[in-house]
């Protein structure tokens, strides 16, 4: 198959952990590479303010950066204005590639894909990754009505829809009245060649050492790192002999008054917290592998790729029971899911983990095993099944008998 992957809002080649680049970039890049490895031709398209370029990133997998609004730094909020412009520019760039199917990621690329699919009479598959209605539902913060309305039209017009998890599929069906027959689920994968256990790790064989926690992700309220900091403060207040440390990796994204170092000072836990910038995947894997527990305190998460990556390093995950994290973590086996993001609940769990090193070790083995379910090869094969379904003409009543 010749597949066009549209990711206008952020480049699949960008590094996650800063700006708007997160798990979605990783998803699109790895899905494209895995489809290529299975013998398909994949063309990724993204927007650039500079000159247009095209390159082959692996055999039969191409990255096209298309110049849209030259020189303009567009904020996330301004991107909806360029949908029509993007569609007509992409139409030029895609001409002659004989694309069989368009896979649009995030609602912006979905809207562009809808125009191209209609023009060329080819199927459109859409992955929203994050939807306004679900975000609103989980965080309680209202989202713009126009975006919700655009998403509703997009989902109605797409040939098929790919959700990242069964939770997302249910949300789309509920919030946008999507026909369940059109919905497929493709769980993300993990690059196990990068994210793997450290053979020499035996940090706390006797529990003599500190419980070392790692957080990796953008520093913004929705990702909940403040919950972790408050929980550490509460746990230390309850047990002053508690040995616990935490390292946080990621750049501030969004509001400047989300100041975690200041919060750490305020709660008198700055001595056990370290803040670092975002890491490259290989460095992140080493950090995960040598942590006791990776904390994912997100208040909303479509899947939570970081949780899958941590587990692939043989490290259990402590997370909230929200969105796709319920699928990323096997609660009580490969990690622990907190019923809500209350720092009190988190503090109790930190105390339990610090006092039970064998429980943490055991969960690490289960975490590695659970992470085996998340391969990009599986994601590619499952996506192909969706593409094939989208490409099959619906049977006429006489055929269905």
Q: How far apart are CA 183 and CA 220, in angstroms?
A: 31
Tokens (6 digits) for 366: 């289960």
Tokens (6 digits) for 122: 């080819």
- The reply to whether 39 sits near a second copy by the rule CB under 8 A is yes
- The reply to whether 256 sits near a second copy by the rule CB under 8 A is no
Radius of gyration of the chain (CA): 22
Decide whether 40 or 226 has the Cβ nearer to a second copy. Answer: 40
The pair phi, psi for residue 46, each rounded to 5°, is -140, 170
Which are the contacts of 394, defined by CB distance < 8 A and separation ≥ 6? none
DSSP strands (E only) in 177-302: 183-185, 211-216, 244-249, 273-276, 293-296
Decide whether 20 or 198 has the Cβ nearer to a second copy. Answer: 198
Decide whether 13 or 194 has the Cβ nearer to a second copy. Answer: 194
Q: How far apart are CA 301 and CA 322, in angstroms?
A: 7
Q: How far apart are CA 63 and CA 89, in angstroms?
A: 16
- The residue from 50, 193, 240, 339 that contacts a second copy (CB under 8 A) is 193
Q: Which stretch binds a second copy (CB under 8 A): 3-11, 20-28, 111-119, 393-401?
A: 393-401
Decide whether 103 or 218 has the Cβ nearer to a second copy. Answer: 103
Q: Are 298 and 319 in contact (CB under 8 A)?
A: yes
Which residue is it, tokens 């309305």?
Answer: 149
Maximum C-alpha span of the chain: 75
Can you name the residues that pair with 252 across neighbouring β-strands? 219
- The reply to whether 399 sits near a second copy by the rule CB under 8 A is yes
- The residue from 29, 30, 184, 210 that contacts a second copy (CB under 8 A) is 184
Residues of 199-209 as b/e, b for ≥16 C-beta within 10 angstroms? eebebbeebee
Shortest Å, Cβ 137 to a second copy: 28
Shortest Å, Cβ 263 to a second copy: 32
Question: Which 314-373 residues touch a second copy, going by CB under 8 A?
Answer: 314, 355-359, 361, 365-366, 368-369, 371-373
Shortest Å, Cβ 88 to a second copy: 30
- The residue from 37, 168, 200, 338 that contacts a second copy (CB under 8 A) is 37
Decide whether 250 or 316 has the Cβ nearer to a second copy. Answer: 316
Q: How far apart are CA 55 and CA 275, in angstroms?
A: 36
Decide whether 81 or 179 has the Cβ nearer to a second copy. Answer: 179
Q: Which stretch binds a second copy (CB under 8 A): 85-93, 117-125, 284-292, 374-382?
A: 374-382
- The residue from 196, 203, 212, 226 that contacts a second copy (CB under 8 A) is 196
Shortest Å, Cβ 169 to a second copy: 13
Q: Are 76 and 20 in contact (CB under 8 A)?
A: yes
Q: How far apart are CA 212 and CA 16, in angstroms?
A: 23
Decide whether 86 or 384 has the Cβ nearer to a second copy. Answer: 384
Angle between helices 145-157 and 132-139 (to 10 degrees): 130
Question: Which 141-160 residues touch a second copy, going by CB under 8 A?
Answer: none
Question: Which 44-83 residues touch a second copy, going by CB under 8 A?
Answer: none
Can you name the residues that pair with 65 across neighbouring β-strands? 46, 53
Shortest Å, Cβ 261 to a second copy: 34
Q: Give how many residues touch a second copy by CB under 8 A.
A: 44
Binding site for a second copy (CB under 8 A): 1, 37-39, 184, 192-193, 196-197, 199, 206-207, 312, 314, 355-359, 361, 365-366, 368-369, 371-373, 375, 377-382, 384-386, 388-389, 392, 395, 399-401
């Amino acid at each position: 198959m010749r597949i066009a992957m549209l990711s206008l809002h952020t480049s699949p080649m960008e590094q996650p952990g800063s700006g708007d680049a997160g798990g979605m970039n990783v998803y699109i890049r790895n899905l494209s590479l895995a489809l290529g490895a299975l013998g398909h031709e994949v063309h990724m398209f993204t927007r650039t303010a500079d000159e247009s370029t095209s390159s082959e990133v692996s055999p039969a997998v191409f990255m096209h950066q298309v110049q849209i609004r030259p020189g303009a730094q567009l904020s996330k909020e301004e991107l909806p204005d360029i949908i029509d412009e993007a569609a007509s520019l992409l139409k030029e760039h895609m001409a002659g590639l004989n694309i069989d199917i368009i896979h649009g990621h995030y609602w912006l690329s979905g809207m562009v894909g809808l125009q191209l699919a209609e023009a060329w009479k080819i199927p459109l598959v859409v992955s929203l990754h994050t939807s306004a209605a679900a975000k609103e539902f989980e965080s309680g913060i209202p989202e713009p009505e126009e975006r919700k309305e655009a998403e509703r039209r997009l989902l109605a017009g797409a040939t098929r829809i790919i959700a990242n998890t069964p939770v997302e599929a249910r949300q789309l069906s509920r919030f946008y009245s999507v026909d369940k027959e059109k919905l497929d689920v493709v769980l993300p994968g993990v690059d196990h060649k990068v994210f793997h256990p450290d053979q020499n790790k035996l940090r706390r064989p006797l529990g003599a050492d500190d419980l070392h926690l790692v957080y990796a992700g953008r520093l913004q309220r929705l990702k909940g790192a403040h919950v972790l900091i408050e929980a550490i403060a509460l746990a230390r207040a309850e047990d002053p002999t508690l040995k616990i440390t935490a390292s946080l990796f990621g750049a501030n994204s969004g509001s400047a008054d989300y100041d975690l170092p200041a919060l750490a000072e305020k709660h008198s836990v700055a001595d056990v917290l370290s803040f670092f910038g975002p890491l490259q995947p290989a460095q992140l894997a080493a950090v995960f592998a040598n942590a006791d527990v990776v904390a994912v305190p997100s208040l909303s998460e479509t899947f939570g790729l970081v949780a899958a990556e941590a587990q692939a390093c043989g490290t259990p995950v402590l997370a909230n029971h929200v969105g796709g994290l319920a699928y990323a973590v096997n609660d009580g086996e490969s990690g622990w899911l907190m019923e809500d993001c209350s720092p009190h609940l988190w503090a109790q769990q930190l105390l339990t983990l610090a006092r039970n090193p064998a429980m943490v070790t055991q969960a690490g083995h289960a975490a590695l095993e659970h992470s085996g379910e998340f391969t990009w090869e599986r994601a590619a094969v499952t996506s192909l099944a969706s593409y094939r379904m989208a490409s099959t003409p619906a049977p006429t009543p006489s055929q269905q008998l």
